[in-house]
Structure 1
């Protein structure tokens, strides 16, 4: 009678150990992923420091506080330009403002208002005619 109980306990313990092992692997991979992300962010910051002067860097940081998605887009553009060698030297604040204006023009959404006349025709103004 003890053999089936012992076997059940062994299986249960083995399952627990496997779960712990998987959890440990996930924790290690998560830490490795965070470390890789930190390294990428450091590399990104160092390239931006080399490409932008102080005033432009300050403007980009201010933009990232208000509109983080737009700041990431501009950072990506700057990094791409730096990798392709399209930036001859450090970019100043005026050049950055020009880049921001061009990005704003490209991403600007046009508002379209549609007026449905059929619904407007069912207005209560028609009741006055009767």
Structure 2
């Protein structure tokens, strides 16, 4: 093999190793963020509420993350006066469900044509 070919192979291998280290660093950062989030939630919530969040996460991961984000936001803005209990968490879930229920409502308005004979069939 020529020196040029060897240097190309070495450069490609070096790039491959650097890419793997970059991905590994991303996992480490993600683990640190996860640990920080869990620490914040354990300070905000009672152990029963943390357990409830864990059970929710087993079923719907994205919903548990949204609840955790909302709890952290409430704590940062100073809207939480005490630790969140399981009952408070259930109330929060109910409030979020009500908001989503109103947002997801779709209404259809059908146009009526002036010469529509379909309505005549039902007039008795």
Q: Same-fold call, TM > 0.5?
A: yes
| 1:110 pairs with 2:105 | yes
1:10-89 correspondence to structure 2 within 5 Å: 10-89=3-82
Deviations 1:84-107 (A, max 9, x none): 222122111111111101111122
Counterpart CA distance in 2 for 1:67 and 1:33 is: 24
Q: Structure 1 unaligned runs (5+)? A: 1-5, 116-130
Q: 1:112 offset after TM fit, Å? A: 5.9
Q: Over aligned residue pairs, what C-alpha RMSD do you find?
A: 2.2
Counterpart CA distance in 2 for 1:68 and 1:53 is: 20
Q: 1:68 offset after TM fit, Å? A: 1.3
Counterpart CA distance in 2 for 1:62 and 1:114 is: 41
Q: What TM-score do the two structures reach when normalised by structure 1?
A: 0.75
Q: What TM-score do the two structures reach when normalised by structure 2?
A: 0.78
Residue in 2 that maps onto 1:97: 90
SS of equivalent to 2:84: coil
The structure with the largest helix share of the pair is 1
Q: How many residues align?
A: 112
Counterpart CA distance in 1 for 2:107 and 2:55 is: 31
